[in-house]
Each structure stands twice: as structure tokens, then as C-alpha cells.
Amino acid sequence: MKGLFIISGLGVLAMLAEIFKFKRALYPIVLIGILAALVANFTEFNNNMSIDQFNNMIRFDNVALAFSGVILLTAFFWFILANEYFNNETSLADHFSLVLFAITGGLMLTAYSNMTTLFLGIEILSIPLYVLAGSRKNDVRSNEAGFKYLIMGSFASAFLLFGIALIYGATGTFDIMLIRAKINTGTMPMFMYAGVVMMLVAMCFKVSAAPFHFWAPDVYEGSPTVITALMSTIVKTAAFAAFMRLFLIGFGSISDTWGMALAGIIALSLIISNVTAAAQTSVKRMLAYSSISHAAFMLMGILALNAQFSMRAILYYTLAYSIGSIASFTGLYIVSKKGDETYEAFNGLVKRNPMIALGMLISMLSLAGIPVTAGFFAKYFIFTTLIASPYKWLLIIAVLTSCVGAYYYFKIIIAMYFKKSDKHEPVEFEMSHALLLGILTVITIILGLMPDMILNMF
Amino acid sequence: MLTGFLIILPLIAALLLFFIKGEGAKKVALIFALAECGISLLAYVWYRSNPNMEALSLNCNWVESLGIKFAVGLDGISLLMVLLTTFLVPLIILSSFKTTYDKPNAFYGLILLMQSALVGVFVANDGFLFYVFWELALIPIYFICLLWGGENRARITFKFFVYTLFGSLFMLIGLIFLYNHTGLDTGIKSWAINDLYAAGRSLTEAQQTFVFWTILIAFAIKMPIFPLHTWQPDTYVTAPTPGTMLLAGIMLKMGTFGLIKWLLPMTPLALEKWGGVAMGFAVVGIIYASCIAIVQKDYKRLIAYSSIAHVGLIAAGILSANQQGVQGAVIQMMSHGINVVGLFLIADILMRHTGTRDITKLGGIRSMNGQFGVLFLIIMLGAVALPLTNGFVGEFLLINGVFKFNAWMGAFAALTIILSAVYMLRSYQAIMLGEKKLNEVVFGSLADSDKAVLIIICIAVIAIGVYPKPLNDLAEPAVKALLMNLK
Amino acid sequence: MIKLIGLVPLFPLIGFLINSFFGKKMSKGLSGTIACASVLASFIVSVLIFMEVNASQQKSTVIEIFSWINSDTLKIPFSFLVDPLSCLFLMNITGIGFLIHVYSTSYMKDDEGFSRFFTYLNLFVFFMLLLVLGSNYLIMFVGWEGVGLCSYLLIGFWFKNDAYNRAANKAFIMNRIGDLGFLLGIIMIFINFGSISFGEVFNKASSVPTSTITTIALLLLVGAMGKSAQLPLYTWLPDAMAGPTPVSALIHAATMVTAGIYMIVRSNIFYSISDAASECVAVVGAVTALFAALIGLLQTDIKKILAYSTVSQLGLMFLALGVGAYSSAVFHVTTHAFFKALLFLGAGSVIHAMGGEQDIRKMGGLKKALPITFITMLLGTLAISGVPPFAGFFSKDEILAHTYEHSQLLWVVGSIASLCTAFYMFRLMFLTFWGSFRGTHEQQHHLHESPKAMTIPLIVLAALSVFGGLLGLPEFWGAKNWMSENLDSVIIRKNPTILSHETEWTLMAIAVLVALSTIYFAYQMFIKYKVLPADKVADMKPFQRVIYNKFYVDEIYDAIIRKPLDAVSEVLSKLVDKQMIDAAVNGVGDLTLWKASIFRKLQTGHIGFYIMTMVVGVIAIMFFSLMK
Amino acid sequence: MLNQIPINYYIFLSAILFIIGAVGVMARRNAIIIFMCIELMLNAVNLLLVSFSTLHNDPSGQVFVFFIMAVAAAEVAVGLAILSTVYRNIKSIDIDLLSKLKN
Amino acid sequence: MGYSITQWLFGILSFLAIMFALMVVFTRSPINSVLYLVMTFFCIAGHYLLLNAQFLAVVHIVVYAGAIMVLFLFVIMLMNLNEETEQQKTLVTKMIAGIIGGVLLAVMVGTLKGAEQMQITQHGASQIGMVKTLGVVLFKDFLFPFEIASVLLLGAMVGAIMLGKKEIK
């Protein structure tokens, strides 16, 4: 809860900075603020005071706090990655406040316990992102990304709302726990299930699962690289926290309505994302497809409906994925300074800068799910949850597509370690980025060696 | 403790090596590999004095909430595999002394890293740990092949990688399935090998069948068993020789070892029902690969196919699930590891001295270097399983085991003794005998390092063949204990 | 002394080790001496042990050296069995082996691979001793394969010649085919008897079903056919003549090829129980004897003739085994070892004198130049032809008598085979030693009698060929058949002789008559009419051509086994492996990339399309999950 | 009672309006029209919420509508802002021209 | 059987709403579309009144017809859009869109079941649509969403401004 306030307060502060002219100081202030939020977040941990606030509009229980922690941590790393993005004189404060508002929305999504807060959270998260995606105003591709995101996001929101309305119609409440209680006690009219399915569709859109994923590659590609990193980490984590709360807690008991549909979505996502990613030439676009495939993996955790363990599995997965993703975007950011975002940009990186290549290597291995990186345990937990469910067959698809996944991640590794580059000069990079990559690499390995740290959080 | 140290030492050495620049890395790596070998011998001595010695095992928590432990220990079979690994790695390092590799520190570091993972695979007593080491072993070898390999390596090594990964993921599913069935009465899930055994045996036949095939596919790819073998010849040919040696000499044994320790005792019902089918593939593979080996021109490729044939027999023996079959498999794993390293070294020596491995272009080398001819001959005889060489003991037990399982399978599997003679003798004749064909090449005396390795291998070939008792004494009770689980 | 049985194989092994490590550095004389001495030492120990066994009541003793392979119930010690049979073979091997070693020191004098030769030869003796000493089937198998290896090494001794190398490969591989049968037989024995030690197995034999015994016996027979060059696995033996002549004498005539007979005699209980199996042995033996003898009739290479003769004689021994006359077979093995070794060494002496020439068409009139060789060879020829009172007469007669008892048809076949034997052997003698010299002038100039190291073994062997028959005088003469008495303890079930003495006398008379008349016929043909073998195949009559070409067996094998195997392998390698299995694997990858290119096109970039797919997705999900 | 209206009617009315909006999004190229169609969809939802609110006699449904309105306003504001940057660059608001990002 | 005035009104408003909505989609001219949309909104406001949500109806008119639609009109005029510049999708696309819409409708009709027995009872004394009731609910139960909505609006504002302003050179 405090984290939420601190972050939204920081957003407002950023706006004031424009007026009171302390834009230069903003960057450190924000970093410190996020750390403060992170600390505040953890002080609330295992602290019952934080439960049930504002008439149960929002509920920062341990699950929510854990996911908030992931978001805040990722945000911290993201700000380090994005330091150059905040050099733009014109919109410096705007950028800060937009990102911070988006994070506020993300934090809400981890903790909502009412349809209102869910909806508002999604919008608070999305609207700044529409803007950020289109923030390179003179670049048509950026415009297009923002525009596509906006249209499709609003369209999906309409479905979400229609679903909420139908559920409200059947239960007479927006409170998730009450809805859950109503579902468990009585028979529900058919249209409520339609509402659940519509919400499923909308949430699947937010996490970019096929066939609602089409926006993701285009938007990821068109947006500035750092914004893409933001979207594929924080936004994804938040969306998953929301998805999980809604479907594991809210609609867990009627999973036979949406289970099969979700399984189909997962299967389709796995196949389409991995297969399409294999044919990409742009790394950024590949990472977009890869994020779809990871989303499908996380959805498997939800599908397994093994409430306690699913949540841990998803928490771990989001963390591992966010870390790996930020790291790979950092690598991409470093090598693509000259604008080349294809695999060729990575050619011969090991000769030009072995440490960055090593960091990239570990993050790629993590994304591909090779032990003993965090990504491996993430996949492992998902497998463990799913294997006890009736949807075992998904594992077969998961395995097959993971192999395809290895193909495109290893394309980068092969490019870095094997391909010859025509450039020989060392890569230019900022110290902070190298440091970031190093820290993320270490975290990836530590998470891989000691997954208990995260699992025992709640 | 000691076992844990066996895993850690090469790891530390590998990390250390990354800081040593230049050719000195070779020697450092060799020293560490020898130290490792010494420690494994110490483990052997301790084990013989008391197999249940606490100092040999290590059991500490890793991921407590999931019942994952860092549990390592030795039984007869794993001790043999560890000895094989620690015996071969110094030889492999020594055999590469005459070749200059770009960035030697990384090269040898990766070899030691690989050794660490391999030892881990063999000593793991925890299903999860086993899987982790299993996958970890893949990374260094992938890089060894990718960075120092031959023509077209990116594609070939990647195929190898994905193929293996594909299998491993299936194995992971199978293992998780087993894990989920542990502790049904206590409620505490565990990855401990004995719990997995118990879980496996408590399953119905259909469930066991699922586990059997998912896990088998990983092992079958790693070994490889026909028809999942096509990654192997290309990879063996493309990899740098030390990589090929690691792959064929040790890594291949991961599959057979896994089959013995991680599959046989888990699924007795499925084994009864499907063991024959799986064995059918293995046996077909023996004949198939042998036939292909007959017409290979590239000597390295020929050995690669012969390796498929040999390992097919090993797999068939294991699947027969009787004492002779499994014990034979263990012995043959040792022998094959030693022989194949020798053969690949020979291929490498040929390449270095003559610039080609094409057996149709070679010839008459024996008249130029008789010593090489004799060493080659002895190793080749080990490969064709002549009695009193190491190949025979294992092969006899294996055929015995398979024959016991099914006489026709046994008879077909035994065709290997004819076919292996055909391709081995033919290739030996083509390379070594007759008149010399490459006139410009003078095949001088061998380098000291090569000679040392070949001689050590030859001694091992004969010593194991004449007096396999030390191996048998380790393998026999271990296999017996393992097979008790099937009843 | 029996406890020291280990020494017997140990001496040759030491000889082998010394020669293999230091052979190159030693002088040829020293190297040869060490080799000879090691075999001689073995021989002496063998004789001592033989005498001890003969004297003692306990006929068979098992000495365990160390435990070799242990696997549950399968316990295979590395242990030796000393009994009359093994002792007999021990003496045979070491005795003749020693003579041939001595002979070789001179024969191979000028060869650069001198020490290598003795290395192999010692190794061979070692393995051969293992073969006969082993107290269980697997040790026998060790020796069995070991001698195969040495045979391979020695056939390809001159490894620069690719034809020789091919012959070596052929020998090894053909032997391996037999070995496969043997090995499977051993495994079946283990599975059915729970042990592979001779003692235990033979004790249990009567409690195992006959059908199983038959299978085992047939599998063992396959092994024996390979090693003893029986139809259809005999073709390697004639080719094996590529090796140096002493090798042919030792390995491919006197010792190794009789291993099959040894093995069957050892396992005689199986064949006694299974009539079907013994019938097979007899038929294989008879057919081989006749077949090889026929081929021998028209060969022109002196060593090839002897080789086919060996095959034929081995066939005769198999015939004896098949009809249950085990001691007769062993008897013939012994006498055959004497005279065939003699003949080969004699042939070696001739070849030595002729400077390497082996074609009898190029020889002639050598008896003056090589008197000792001539006389000893003549004695050997008389022995093999079955002329009394030479060794061959007794052993062959015993076999034929037993055969007659068993089946008259087989007797006829056997008799024809020995008739042919007499003919081609005398053809060889007449063409080589009589008449005028047909070689080059240079060769004629070079002709010389061989040195003493070569002639002394010849003389010793000639003496043995002459007097060897004493070992097994026919019982109906009232004499003691030492051979059969000696082997009494080894042969578990004996067939009593049922023939009347008159019949036996008649048969003997017929045999002698046939042999003598054949010799006379040959004399008429080659001395009187000076018939010379045709130089060119084209000059031959069709049936001659078929025989000259050895019934085209090699070509047939080539066509039905080797070429198809190569062709199938090519197909497997190029088509099945690359085009099918690997292509399928790669196909999965390519298919993925191909699908990827299609999926990529789905990403059209048009929002309208995206929205439509979304709505279609909604429809599909609502339809499938709600409208059940 | 005759002045009762079955809730079903409202559900279907909303659904029809919603679908008309959706069809509009699919069938038009003008970005502004598309925004308008999305507004139409949101209004359909509003209508549904209000009718359910009346059904349950519960004001929270109507309160939710306020939030939807707020969001709709915000979305339109941002949407039109983005649209104006698009227009600035390509001088058109035809969505089919915005398909540079693909594959 | 007669219909009550409420039911008549419901029927007429529904028909008009659907009509105008269809016109929004099918009219070529953007300006006309806007106007039809405004009409639709008015119809919907009528429904609100029928449903006893008077305050909401007013707010609806003010926000949608008054603010949002004016914004649309403003932009349309700014960009000088009219019938001539209007690009049309191909007929096939439109047909497909129509078909998909039809199928979606069919599916919805098939799935939105279970409300057949539910009737809206017009409580003459119903207070839920009153400003006071709504105010209490909004500022008590929905306090947090209300406050946090400010973040949303701030974000939208900042975003719109950022996109609109010129780069500092």
C-alpha cells in the first residue's frame, strides 16, 4: 500500500519538477523513491494491518506484496537501463510521471480485490503506455505502435467491461471475494459464464496470448527499446498478477468453463509465438514473440489451478522472466545504439566485449530455460504444477515449442560467439549498463541456485 | 564429502583457468584433471574398505520446500562411471597437447566444467540434481563444439543441442510425474532416488508406460539409439577431437547410466510390457549402424557409427534387465569409453599427420610407423571385442543378458561381433596396411603425448580384458541391488 | 607337476612378451632362440604332465588361476583342465609347434619381420594352449578367438600386399561367423545348465531336454565349422595360404584348424545325446571331405592343393565325429598333424628352393636337387594317401570302418574323398619332383636343398608320419588301441563296435586297393603320359573349369553375401540414414521454419485484421466453452 | 405488472449495440470513427451496468459507470493526441496506412 | 395485450439507439457519424431515465455529448475530414466484418442466457439513481477508486500534453 502511494506520489512530484525546475535531480530522486517503495513494500510483508483497505477495494496481502516487490525491483533496474531515455529535454518530467503512473497501475493490479480497481488499474497501466509507446513523436513507427496499442487496448477493455457487467448482473457485486462466494454457493445464470469468458479474453489480450497477441510484436517493435523493455516486464508481471488473482481466486471454482478455452489459448500461443519467433530477423521482434511464449508458460501455471503453488510458480516465473528480459534488452540496447536491431548487431560480440556477451549468454540461457539459471526453475515450477492437472498434454506442446525456443535464443548466442563481425572496435557502453547487466546476471544465477528464497515468500 | 569435492574441484579449476592466459592453461588443466583422478582413486579405495562410508556421500538441502536435495553418493555403478570420467579426462587433455586451440584457457576450462557436470550426473542421488547436471553437461560441450569445431558447425551443433534438449525436457516431465507421486502417504514430496523408485513402482501400468517412454526418450537420444541417432555422426565429425572424445567417451554413458539407474528400477511393469519394443529398436540399431559403418569413408564417421552399434548393444543389455545384461552394460560402458577415446585419438593423429581421414586415400601407414600400427591394432581389437581385451567381457555378458531375455534378439544383437569385425578390419586394412598411397606424406614417429595416451589406453584395454575382476567386484553387487528393486 | 600346468601357456607368453618388446633390438638369432626355447619348455612340461596324468588314477584335474568374470550365477574362473585329451593336444601343439619354430628360424631368416613373426607365432601357441587347456567353454573361446587373431596376423604377415590382407580379413571374418555360433552356444549352455564349466555341464547333460541339446550342439557345430573350415565356411582356409609356409603348417594344418574337432570331442556328450546333431556333423564332414578333395584335383598352387587336402581331411575327421568315433577323430588329428605339417614344411622347402614360386606347373624334377625334402614329402604323401603301414592308413581306416558301421552311403563318400586325396597328392608329387624342370633358368640355377634347421624338422615329422600309426593300431588286429584307451575317460558314451572282423578286414583291403590303384593311375597319367595341367582356363573342359574355379564358391559368396551387404549398407547410409531418417529430423526443423514464414504473414500489420482475429477468437472460445 | 421490462431485453440491446460497435471497428478505416465505435461499445456496457444496477437495486453499478466515463474520456484524450501526432507525420488518419510494423 | 408507456418508450428508444448506432457505422461522412453517435447517446440517456438513473443520464449527456463528442468534432474539423477524403474498406472486408458481427451476435444470443426470469421492477421510490445515494456510495465505498482515478486522469493529461507539445530545440 505504501509502495503504491510512494510511486504515485513520485509521479506527481515528477510533474512538479517541470514547474519548480528540479528536473536534473529527478532521476536520483526517482531511483531513491523506488528503493524506498521497495523497502516500504517489504515492511508490510507478513503484516496483517495491510489487509482489507478501503472497503476491500484493494488488498495488499502477501501475494500482492510479493508481486509488487517484483514490479518495483524490475522498475528499479528498468530505470537504470532507461537513463538515456530521460535525457530528452522536452518531455523529461512527462516521461517520468507517465512511467511512474504506469507502475502505479501495475501495483494496483497486484492487489485489487474489486472489479473497479481491476479496471482502473488496467487503464492506469495502459493509458500512459499508449503514450509512451508513441513517445518518439516524429517516428511514424512509434506513432503506429502507440496507435495500434491504443485501439486494440481499448477494444479489449470494452470486452473486459462487458464481462464485468455481465458478472455484476449475475452476482450483484463487484467485489471479487463476494463474487467468489456467490459462485460457490449458488447456481449462476449462463450469462455470467459468458462474462467470465469475456474477461478471460480481455486478460489474455493484456498478457498477449494468441489469438489476441497480434498487437504485441508490432507495438514492441515500434516502441522505443526501453519502453518495450518496460512493456515486456513490468506490464506483463502486473497483468499476470491480475490474471492470477481473477482466475485463481475469483473464478477458480468454475474452471471447467474457462479451463479448456485457456488450454487452447496456451497451445495456440506456444505454437504461434515460438514458430514465428524462429523466423524473425529483428531481435526486438523476436523478444516480443518470446514474451508471448513466456506468457503462455505462465498461463499454464494459472491453468494448473494448484492455487498455492501456482502463485509461487507464477511469481517466480515473472521474476525470472523480468530479470532475464531486462538483461536481454540491456544487451540489445547496448549493441543496437547504431539502430541495427537485427541478429547481425550481435555478431562477434564476444570479441568486441566478452563480458557483455557473457551477460547476454546467461540471460539467453535463462530465457531458454537451461539450468542452473532462474529461467530453468521457472519452467520447472510450471511443469510441476501442470503435471498434476488434467492438461498434461500441454506439456508435450510446451516441450516441443521449447526446442523451437532454444533455436531463436541460440541464434543470438551463435551470433555472439560464432559469427564474425565486420566491426572490430570495442562496443561503446555506459558503465551503469554494464553494471546492470552484471547484477542481473548474478541475480539470474543466484535465483537459479537458490529458488527457495522466492518460493518461501508466502 | 569426497563426492562433493569431486564435483567442485573441476569447477574451481575451470574458473581458475579463465584467468590463465596462453598455452599454460593446458598444463594447469592437466594437473587438475590428474588431481581429480587421484581423488577418485581415493574414493575407490575408501569405497572398497567400506561402501557405506559417510565421507563418500553428501546430503544437504537445496530447495527445501520442494524436497530437492543436494544429495550425492556413490554406489558401484556410479563409482565406475566416475572413475571412467576421471581417467579419461586427463587422457583427453593430454591427447590435445599437440593441437593449438584458440583461447586455450576457455577451451580447457570448458572441458573441466564438463567434467564437473558429468561427475555430478553420475553421483547424483536426487532426481532433480541429476536432471540439473544432465542439462549442465550440455552447455560446455555445446560451446566446445561450436567454438572449436569444424565445418558447418553452427548448424550441426545446434541440431545436437536441440535434439538433446528435446529429450531432456521429456525426461523432466517424466521425473516430475514421478515426483508428484512421491509421499502419497506421508504427504512430503521428495526427489530422493529411493522415493522416486517407490513412487514409480506404485504407479499403474499405464502411468508407468508414460514415465518409461518420456524418460527413455532422453536417454535414447543421448546414447543414441536408432532411429534417434542422426545428430550423432555429424556432431562427432564436426566437434574438435577432445569434444568428440568427451561426447563419445563419457557423455554417451550418461544415457546408458541413466537408463540403468534412473529408469530400470522405476517402472518394472512398463519395462515388462515395453522393454522388448525398446530393445527391438536398440537391436535394429546395432545392425543398422554397423552396416552403415561398413561403407563409411571418413574414419571419424565410421567410429561414430560403430559407437551407435556398440551403444545399441549396451542399451539392449540394460533393457534385458537381468544381472548379466546390466552388469555387462556397466563393464562395456567402461570399455567402450576407453576404446572410443583411443579410436578418436587415432583419427586425430591421422588427420594431423596426413591431413585426411578419408580411408580410401590413406594406406600403408604401418610400414612407416610400426609402433603406431601395433597400438592402433590393440585398440581396434578392443573395439571388435576380442577375448582378453576389454571389449569382450562386456560384450559377452551383454549378449548373454539379451539372449536370456529373448533368444532371437540375442542372436541378432550378437551379429555385431561379425559386423564390427568387418568394418574395423576393413578400415584398419585400408588405413594401415597395403602400399602407401599418399606419397608426399611421411608418417613420422608419434608425439610423446599421443604415444603416452595410446599406450595407457592399450594397457587399459588389455588389463581390463585379462583381469576385469576389480570392475566386476564393483558392478556385480551394485547391479544385483538395483535389480532387487524390480522384484 | 599338474599344478604347474600354468607354465605351459606361460612360456610362450613370456616368449611373446620378450619378442614383442625387445624383438627389434635383439639379433635374429636370439629372438628365434627365445621363441623356440619357450615352446620347447612348454613341450617338456607338457610331456611331464602327460606322463603324470597317465600314471595317476585321477584322470582330470581343474586348476584355477584366477577368477575372471563373475556375474551372479555366471561364474567363470580362468582355470585349466588337465586330462588325457588336453594333454594329448598339448603335446601335439607344443611338439609340432617347436619343430615348426625351429624350421621357421631358417625359413624366415631373410625376412625383415623376423622377430615380429616369432612374436605372433608364440602368441599363437599361447592361445592354442589356452584353447585346449580351458576348463570351461569361455576360456576355450578365448583361445579360440585368440588363435583366430594370430591366424589373421600371420596370414597378413606381409601386410604390404593387399591380397594377403584381404585373405587375412576373410579368415578373421569367416571365423567370426563361426564364433558367433559358438558364443551363442556357450550362452545357451549357461542359460540351460547354469554353468559353463565342462565338468558341471557334462554331468547335467542328461537332465536337459534333447531338443535344447540339439540346438546347443548345432550352434557349437557352427563354431567348429568356422574354425575347422567345413562347408560352407571353408573358403578362408585356401586363401589363408597367403601367410608364410610355416604358418600354414602350424596353424592351418596341424593345430588351429583342428580346434573344431577338439571342441566337439570335448562336448561329445551333447552329440551322443542328440542324434540329429551328430547326423549333421557327419553329413557336413562327408560333404566337405568330398567337395574339397574334388577341388584339390585340379589346383596348381602347391600350397592350395595342400590346403584343400587339409579341408578334405578335416571333413573326414568331422565324419568320424558324426558317427561317434571320437577317438578315431583325435587319432586322425594327431596323424594328420604329423603328415600335413610335414607336407607343408616340405612344400615350404620347395618354395624356398624355387625362390617363392608356388605353381607346380613351373616345377618338375626337383627330386635330385632336394633329396631330403623329396623323401620326407614322399613319406608324408604315402601317409596321407592311406598306404599301409604309414600313420594315415590306420587313422583313416578306423574312421572309414566306423563310418561303414554307421552308414554305407557316407562310407562311399568318404572313400571317394580318400581316393581323390591319393590322386591329387601323387599328382603333386609327380609334377613337382619327377619329370623335367619347367621353371626359369635362373630358378634352376638357384635350386638347393634347405639348411639343416629346415630339414631336421622334416625328418622328425617324417618319422612320426611313418610310425604315428602305432598310437592307434586296430583292435581287431588284436593290438591295443592306445588312443582310444587313453581317451576313455573323456568320451562319456561310447558306441560299441558291432562290425565283424571279416567286414573290417574287407574294408581295409578295399581301402588299400583303392589307394594303390589310384597311385598307379596317377603314375600312368603324369609320368607315363606326362599330362600337364592346362595353363589357361580356356583350354579346360567345362567340368574342369568348374572344379578349377573351386565350384565358384567364392564368387557365389561374393554375390550373395558380400555384395548385397555392401549394397544394403550403401543404401542404408546414403538413402535411409541421410534421405529418410536424418531428412525427417531436419524436415521437422525446416517445417517449423516454413510454418514460421506462414505465421509471419498472419502478422499483416493491419489493425482491422487483428481485431477481426480477436473477435473470431472470442467467438470460438465462447462457442466451445459455453455452447456445449 | 405491465411496466416491467425483462432484463433480457437490456442484455440483448447492449449486446447489439456492443456488436455494432465492434463491427464498426472492423469495418472502418477512419481512426476517429473507430474511436467512436469503441465509445459506442463502452456505452453499451454502461447501459448494461445501469440496467443491472436497477435490477439489483444497487447503486454501485451506476458508480462503476462513472469510472467508465472517466476512463473513456481519458482514452479519447490520449487517443486523439496520438492521432494528431500520426496525422502530423503521415497527413492521414487512415488506419490501413499504419501497417509499417508487420511480420 | 397492451404495452405500458414504459415498454413503448423502451421499444422506441431501443429501435432508435440501434438505428443511430448502425448509422454511425455506415455513414460515409465522419461528421454525420459523430452526429449519429450523439443521437445514440441521447437514446441511451433516455434508457437511463427509464431505468431511474436520472443523475447518470445527465452526466452522460454532459460528458459524452457535451465533452467527448465535441472533442471528436473538433479533431475532425481540425483534420478537415469529409466524405471525399474518407477511405473505405473493400467490400469483402466489410462483408467479412458483417458476417463476423452476425456470428458474434448469434453466439451471444446463444450464451447470454439465464436472465429470462429476471425482471426489472420499477420501484417508484427507488433512490439509487439519486445524487445523494450515489455520492455516499462513491465517496464511501468507492473512495479509493475515486482517488486513484485522479492518477488516471493526470496520466492521460500529461500524456496528451506531452504528445502535443513541440520539441525544445
Chain segment A100-128, per-residue pLDDT in tens: 999 999 999 998 989 999 999 999 999 99
Nearest CA in chain E to C626: E111
Average pLDDT of E66-90? 80
- The residue with greater pLDDT, C322 or B185, is C322
- Residue A349's pLDDT band, with cuts at 50, 70 and 90, is confident
Q: E144 vs A169: CB contact, 8 Å cut-off?
A: no
For residues C119 and C23, is the Cβ–Cβ distance under 8 A? yes
Query: What is d(CA C208, CA C189) in angstroms, rounded to the nearest whole number?
Result: 10
- E161 to chain C nearest CA, in Å? 25
Query: What is d(CA A172, CA A167) in angstroms, rounded to the nearest whole number?
Result: 8
- The whole-number pLDDT of residue A238 equals 93
For residues C425 and C297, is the Cβ–Cβ distance under 8 A? no
Sign of the Cα pseudo-torsion (C145, C146, C147, C149, in order): positive
Q: Is it the case that residue A207 has pLDDT exceeding 60?
A: yes
Three-state DSSP class for residue A282: strand
Query: What is d(CA D80, CA B185) in angstroms, rounded to the nearest whole number?
Result: 63
Query: What is d(CA B352, CA A126) in angstroms, rounded to the nearest whole number?
Result: 64
Q: E148 vs A101: CB contact, 8 Å cut-off?
A: no
Strand C74-82 and strand C61-71: the pairing is antiparallel
A458 — contact with chain D (CB < 8 Å)?
A: no
Mutate to test the interface with A, among D13, D82, D97 (most CBs of A within 10 A): D82
Exposure of A141 by Cβ count < 10 A (0-12 exposed, 13-18 middle, 19+ buried)?
A: middle
Q: Is it the case that residue E36 has pLDDT exceeding 70?
A: yes
Q: From residue C373, give the alpha-carbon distance in Å to each of A92, C346, C350, C460, C566.
A: 114, 6, 8, 12, 45
Count of beta carbons in the 10 Å neighbourhood of residue C155: 29
Q: What is the pLDDT of residues C431-468, one digit of tens each?
A: 888 877 777 777 777 777 778 888 888 888 888 888 87
- Residue B159's pLDDT band, with cuts at 50, 70 and 90, is confident
Q: What is the pLDDT of residues B13-60, one digit of tens each?
A: 888 888 887 778 888 889 998 999 999 999 888 888 888 877 788 888
- DSSP code per residue over B196-207: HHHHHHHS-HHH
Q: What is the pLDDT of residues E51-63, one digit of tens each?
A: 888 888 999 998 8
Exposure of C601 by Cβ count < 10 A (0-12 exposed, 13-18 middle, 19+ buried)?
A: exposed
Q: Scan for cell 555378458, then name that residue.
A: B397
Strand B58-63 and strand B68-72: the pairing is antiparallel
Smallest Cβ–Cβ distance between A165 and the set D45, D63, D81 belongs to D45
Query: The C-alpha cell of C47 is what?
Result: 610331456
Question: How many residue contacts between A and C have a Cβ separation below 8 Å?
Answer: 81
Q: Return the amino acid letter for B341.
A: V
Query: The C-alpha cell of A291 is what?
Result: 514474451
Mutate to test the interface with E, among C604, C616, C619, C624 (most CBs of E within 10 A): C619
Count of beta carbons in the 10 Å neighbourhood of residue C60: 16
Q: Scan for cell 504473414, then name that residue.
A: C601
A91 — contact with chain D (CB < 8 Å)?
A: no
Q: From residue A321, give the alpha-carbon distance in Å to each of A285, C176, C585.
A: 17, 59, 30
Q: E93 vs C608: CB contact, 8 Å cut-off?
A: yes
* Chain D residues in contact with C606 (beta carbon < 8 A): 95-96, 99
Q: C621 vs A404: CB contact, 8 Å cut-off?
A: no
DSSP H helices, A233-282, are 236-244, 255-278
Q: Is it the case that residue E144 has pLDDT exceeding 70?
A: yes
Query: What residues contact C237, with CB distance under 8 A and at least 6 apart?
Result: C171, C229, C252, C257, C307, C310, C311
Mutate to test the interface with D, among C603, C606, C618 (most CBs of D within 10 A): C606
Q: How many percent of chain B have pLDDT more than 70?
A: 99
* Chain C residues in contact with B288 (beta carbon < 8 A): 572, 576
Q: Establish whether chain B is in contact with chain E, requiring a minimum of 3 CB pairs below 8 angstroms.
A: no
- C593 to chain A nearest CA, in Å? 6
Query: What is d(CA A292, CA A266) in angstroms, rounded to the nearest whole number?
Result: 10
For residues A108 and D67, is the Cβ–Cβ distance under 8 A? no
Say how many Å lie between the first and final Cα of chain A, rounded: 17
Q: Is it the case that residue E169 has pLDDT exceeding 60?
A: no
Nearest Cα to Cα of residue A305 among A238, A244, A257:
A244
* Chain D residues in contact with C600 (beta carbon < 8 A): 103
Query: What is d(CA C262, CA A352) in angstroms, rounded to the nearest whole number?
Result: 74
Query: What is d(CA A260, CA C613) in angstroms, rounded to the nearest whole number?
Result: 19
Three-state DSSP class for residue C362: helix
Phi, psi (rounded to 5 degrees) for C82: -110, 115
Q: What is the pLDDT of residues C471-501, one digit of tens each?
A: 777 777 766 777 777 777 777 766 666 677 7
Q: Scan for cell 568348374, then name that residue.
A: C546
Count of beta carbons in the 10 Å neighbourhood of residue C354: 24
Q: What is the pLDDT of residues B332-361, one digit of tens each?
A: 999 999 999 999 998 888 888 888 888 888
Smallest Cβ–Cβ distance between A261 and the set C600, C609, C625 belongs to C625
Query: What is d(CA E47, CA E53) in angstroms, rounded to the nearest whole number?
Result: 9
- The whole-number pLDDT of residue D2 equals 41
Long-range contacts of B205-209 (CB under 8 A, 24+ apart): B205/B269, B205/B270, B205/B273, B207/B177, B207/B181, B208/B266, B208/B267, B208/B268, B208/B269, B208/B270, B209/B267, B209/B269, B209/B270, B209/B273, B209/B274
Three-state DSSP class for residue D26: helix
Query: What is d(CA B66, CA A373) in angstroms, rounded to the nearest whole number?
Result: 17
Query: What is d(CA A184, CA A177) in angstroms, rounded to the nearest whole number?
Result: 10
For residues B264 and B182, is the Cβ–Cβ distance under 8 A? no
Smallest Cβ–Cβ distance between A279 and the set C600, C618, C621 belongs to C600
| Cis peptide bond upstream of A211, omega within 30 | yes
Three-state DSSP class for residue D98: coil
For residues D51 and D7, is the Cβ–Cβ distance under 8 A? yes
- The whole-number pLDDT of residue A266 equals 93
Q: Establish whether chain C is in contact with chain E, requiring a minimum of 3 CB pairs below 8 angstroms.
A: yes
- A234 to chain E nearest CA, in Å? 17
A58 — contact with chain E (CB < 8 Å)?
A: yes
Query: What is d(CA C621, CA A159) in angstroms, rounded to the nearest whole number?
Result: 13
* Chain B residues in contact with C183 (beta carbon < 8 A): 396, 399, 414, 417
Q: Scan for cell 502535443, then name that residue.
A: E164
Three-state DSSP class for residue B468: coil
- The whole-number pLDDT of residue A48 equals 61
Q: Which helix (H) or strand (E) holds A214?
A: none
Sign of the Cα pseudo-torsion (C226, C227, C228, C234, in order): positive
Smallest Cβ–Cβ distance between E63 and the set D13, D23, D69 belongs to D69
Q: Is it the case that residue E165 has pLDDT exceeding 90?
A: no
* Chain D residues in contact with C618 (beta carbon < 8 A): none
Nearest CA in chain D to C597: D103
Q: Which helix (H) or strand (E) holds C568?
A: helix C563-570
Query: What residues contact C434, with CB distance under 8 A and at least 6 apart?
Result: C364, C365, C367, C526, C527
Q: D26 vs C604: CB contact, 8 Å cut-off?
A: no
Long-range contacts of C529-538 (CB under 8 A, 24+ apart): C530/C435, C532/C361, C532/C431, C533/C298, C533/C300, C533/C360, C533/C361, C533/C431, C535/C361
Single pTM value for the model: 0.90
Sign of the Cα pseudo-torsion (C81, C82, C84, C89, in order): positive
Query: What is d(CA C507, CA C40) in angstroms, rounded to the nearest whole number?
Result: 40
Nearest Cα to Cα of residue A318 among A386, A241, A219, A395:
A241
Nearest CA in chain B to A376: B132
Nearest Cα to Cα of residue C148 among B417, A253, E39:
B417
Angle between helices B153-180 and B193-202 (to 10 degrees): 70
Count of beta carbons in the 10 Å neighbourhood of residue C587: 12
- The residue with greater pLDDT, A456 or B159, is B159
- The whole-number pLDDT of residue D1 equals 39
Q: Establish whether chain B is in contact with chain D, requiring a minimum of 3 CB pairs below 8 angstroms.
A: no
Point out the residues of chain C with pLDDT beneath 50: none
* Chain C residues in contact with D99 (beta carbon < 8 A): 604-607
Angle between helices A354-368 and A393-417 (to 10 degrees): 170
| Cis peptide bond upstream of A189, omega within 30 | no
Q: Is the ipTM of this complex over 0.95?
A: no
**Left, alpha or beta for C232 (phi > 0: left; psi -120 to 50: alpha)?**
alpha
D61 — contact with chain A (CB < 8 Å)?
A: yes
Q: A170 vs E165: CB contact, 8 Å cut-off?
A: no
Q: A260 vs C625: CB contact, 8 Å cut-off?
A: yes
Q: What is the pLDDT of residues E91-127, one digit of tens each?
A: 888 888 889 999 999 888 888 877 777 776 655 556 7
Q: Is it the case that residue D35 has pLDDT exceeding 80?
A: yes
**What is the DSSP-derived secondary structure letter of residue D30?**
B
